[in-house]
Structure formats: structure tokens, C-alpha cells
Amino acid sequence: MEVIERVDTIRERMQTLRCSGKRIGFVPTMGALHEGHLQLLRASVQENDITVCSIFVNPTQFNNPDDYKLYPRTIAQDTELLKTVGCDILFAPKAEDVYVQQSLLQFSFGPLEAVMEGEHRPGHFNGVATVVSKLFHFVQPHRAYFGQKDLQQVAIVKQLVQGLSFDVEVVRYPIVREEDGLAMSSRNKRLDAKQRQTAPSLYGALQLAKQQLGNKPVYSIKAAVEAYLSSMDEVQLEYFEITDPDTLRPLTNVQPGQEVALCIAAFVGPVRLIDNMLVNLNEV
């Protein structure tokens, strides 16, 4: 596996590969890799000639400086994991190479960034859009793979690709969970033993909501989720929404046969976690 740190080097390497007719798959990450990332990488290896994984903890998408500082960085372990799944190139740039000068660009995603993560993390999606645009220019992939856990981020990236006419297919893969239901996340590494036992309550809340869909009104389901999580030690709910799976706009009622996205964010101790579930009411 090649390890490339410089932007000019990755540009030259990818241009050579594309000119030789290679299909390039790309998995952008911030490191601290887990099975969710590995699922994306295996899919890319199977579906493309060359697979590139980037590891870059992007400073512009953190609206909390402490969160950026504490984000787990495990590059040595990540490198070994990438080798086990057949990744061809690890792109691990330095911040000063990605951001040669301060970025003044401002992206607007309209209603999509006004809810949930966009509402509670001002500037987050501007940072995401900036770094994804840069990475797409550097790596020039044919396909880019993202996990469903960051459902709103995937929607933002799809809108970015469409709006700027990037020649890349965005592929979304389902959430990978631990045996107790906790969505795999790099942030899970920051949970202590007690918090780790409590964290699956987010998945429990989604299951509770799913059970009540079609039988109770939306406001009642939201109240039930709030009550359920309020009984959990160290859990502070930030939001729970029942949304349209495409626009992610919150719904005030649901109809038979409708597909919805259940989306949740909560702090477990000091660690902010998100999760979601796609539900078709025909299957409830």
C-alpha cells in the first residue's frame, strides 16, 4: 500500500492512474477506523481497480475546538487495518497542505442545512463541503463511499456533487452496529466503560420510535423518546426527529406506506453521538 502525504503527489499519481484507464474508488475518513469504514473499503476494492482512503481530521468542520483536539488519532493502527482490506493508497495530508491559505468560501445548502446537524453545529456543513470538494479535486475518484450513520452529511455531499457537477458517483452504505446495537463511530473510543454501557440507548430510542410509528402521532412518539432517554444516566438528548429521508425535513405526521428517517443526536457524558434508522411504514 502506498502512503502519500503531499497534495501535489496525490494529484500526479491519480492523474496517471486515470489516464491509464483505472477506475478509482475513494473512502474519505478522519481516521480511528472501525468496521463501518472497513465495509466501505471492501466495497470499493470489489467495485474499482484502485481504492484510495484519506485520513484527515478536518479542522474546518469542528465548531467546538475541544472536540477537534480530542478527536481520536490512531494513524499507525489505521494503516495496518487498511492493508488487511486491500486498500491501494492511503492519502494522509497535513492541514497546512490542504489549507495553504484560510478558506473564505461559503456554501449554502438551503433547507437541508437548517435542520438537525446544521441547526446544532453552525458552520459544520460548510467545513464538510469545503474539505470534500478539495479531496475530490485531489483524488479525482469515479466513486466515493460514505456511511449512512452520517445521513445528513451524505445528503449534503450529494447536493454538492450535483451543484458543482463533480464527475463522481456517491455511494451510501448501511450503518454497521456493535452487537448491542450501538452504531460504530470513531467517537465511541472516547466513551468510558459506564458510558459505553449506556450509549446503546440511542439505538433503543430509535427502536422504540419504530414500534410506535403508524400507531401514535409524531408528537407522542417524540415525547416517548424524550422520556425514555431522560431515564438514562449521563444521556442528554439534543434532538430526535422523524423526517423525510430525502430532504430530511421534520414531519408532523406520517402516512401508510411512507418511508421515513428517524434521526437522533445526544451526548453520552461529554461525547456527542448520532444515529438514524430508515423505516418503511409498510414493513412496521
Residue 34 half-sphere exposure toward CB, CA atoms < 13 A = 18
Q: Quote the cell numbers at residue 174.
A: 448501511
176 is an annotated ligand-binding site residue: yes
For the chain, what is the mean pLDDT?
A: 96
> Above 70 in pLDDT, residue 284?
no
77 is an annotated ligand-binding site residue: no
19-62 confidence digits (pLDDT tens): 999 999 999 999 999 999 999 999 999 999 999 999 999 999 99
Q: Quote the cell numbers at residue 240.
A: 430526535
For the ranges 197-201, 251-255, 276-280, the lowest mean pLDDT is seen at 251-255
> Above 80 in pLDDT, residue 141?
yes
State mean pLDDT over 262-279. Answer: 98
* Domain locations along the chain: 2-173, 186-277
Place of cell 430510542: 205
Residues identified as active-site: 37
Q: Which CATH superfamily is domain 2-173 in?
A: HUPs (3.40.50.620)
State mean pLDDT over 7-24. Answer: 98
Q: Do domains 2-173 and 186-277 have the same CATH topology?
A: no
H-helix segments, the chain: 7-19, 35-47, 65-70, 75-84, 95-98, 117-120, 124-139, 151-164, 193-198, 201-212, 218-230
Global pTM value: 0.95
148 is an annotated ligand-binding site residue: yes
Give the phi and the psi of residue 143 in degrees, each rounded to 5: -130, 145
89-104 confidence digits (pLDDT tens): 999 999 999 999 887 8
Indicate the class that CATH gives domain 186-277: alpha beta
Q: In the chain, what percentage of residues exceed pLDDT 70?
A: 100
66-120 confidence digits (pLDDT tens): 889 989 999 999 999 999 999 999 999 999 999 998 878 899 999 999 999 999 9
